[in-house]
Chain A
């Protein structure tokens, strides 16, 4: 039985095609694991158990083996996240420059703690390691946008940009 046919109804044709395209220039199917997880997360916001199983089947590996990769990376979400992911840097430069205060302000503003999602499913708040923008410390990243400096003075304005 072709193991690749069953999953059509769990991974979309677009996801499958995108993953196959990655596999095409790699030595074996498993080598596309990280790309495949990113593709699935891109499409669904996070990687559910069912999505992970389907992806593992497509890659010809056990769900456990794929999960060991997925759970190693903190940017592969194995639990549902809100529409926007807010990541506040807690590494050294940001810490020195007031990262804790920033994190506190964001928590108060959103009314949630680290690792939580707002009731309207709009924001998930997470800590993150150095964003590689220490010159702008302290800062946070919302989805793929860096937010720092004077902007941080008006969090209402910042979060309004993300519906």
Chain B
């Protein structure tokens, strides 16, 4: 990956910075130089980066360093928070017209993914009990109408088409057709066009003026580079867009365009498209996008995965135990079992910042067979031993090793790991108590 060196350099810089009471200007500069590079490599627009870095610096210098965070991590935390809030804080949805049909107009450059996304959006609404209608207004690209018809068939949503008539007439007729047939949502797929093409931009204005769309959504390829700002500003100035859908996020693009677009238009990113399949439309999470742009790994996805696996109740109990420092090897074993359910370990670790890509992780060599041995060791302990591992001395260790078919060293290693984990968790929960919003990605059991 072209970014691996950069993000490991980023991690390295942060490691180098020693824990101090306050962030000095030099600490901040050093960390921000790397952040700047990371953002540029993620295709965030140069001017957006410049402004952003200046803002962060203002906020970070003189900031109190939390005891458990190094200055570098602290800067990243601030960067992450600012990125998240700049990208829209909360999720935004598509607003529906009080008087149906809700007309949604899909616009964007050529090849950005409008047709496929129109189909996905239709399915999204259909699944929510609506009766969407798709309208084929791309009369220019060969077979574009046919493409939308096939897509409509795939999601089982009707498609209105009128051959190669004027798009504005197609749009008007589609609205009429929709009201007659009881469709409460109309999604108009328009042809891709350049924001600097006056004729075709005028065509969109005509459609807009004649059907009064409730939402005009700009579809943007997440691989877009520095021009994203001009494209978004162009469409927004001429049409007034209501939101953005970011496509092709299932690739490895860091997607800095998301930030650039939000910064110049102020319009929310409403959905993220993650697959060629019709159900691949997801609600946009600004916080995840922030860590993706920074190359910090998708910590939040990890948390969500964990949440989906651990029951809410159990998670609360565990958190409570950690607070009280009453976390036992039994809990540890249960956790391991849960982690195993979450998916292959290497994949999970890849989501943790700095882990997937660092060699360090390879040294740890946590693979699934390793997990099995750990489970075997814990199973060979008595309940008493699991609840209170401090009582495990030399002879108990030999017995446990023999019982689990492992060696004493392995038992030792496990006990050591367990103690470290307990230590770490204590730190996290203290940090949380100290009142920072816990958005840093540490409260795995939120």
Instruction: Tell me whether A and B are bound partners.
Output: no
Question: Footprint of A on B, CB under 8 Å?
Answer: none
Q: Which A residues have a C-beta under 8 Å from some C-beta of B?
A: none
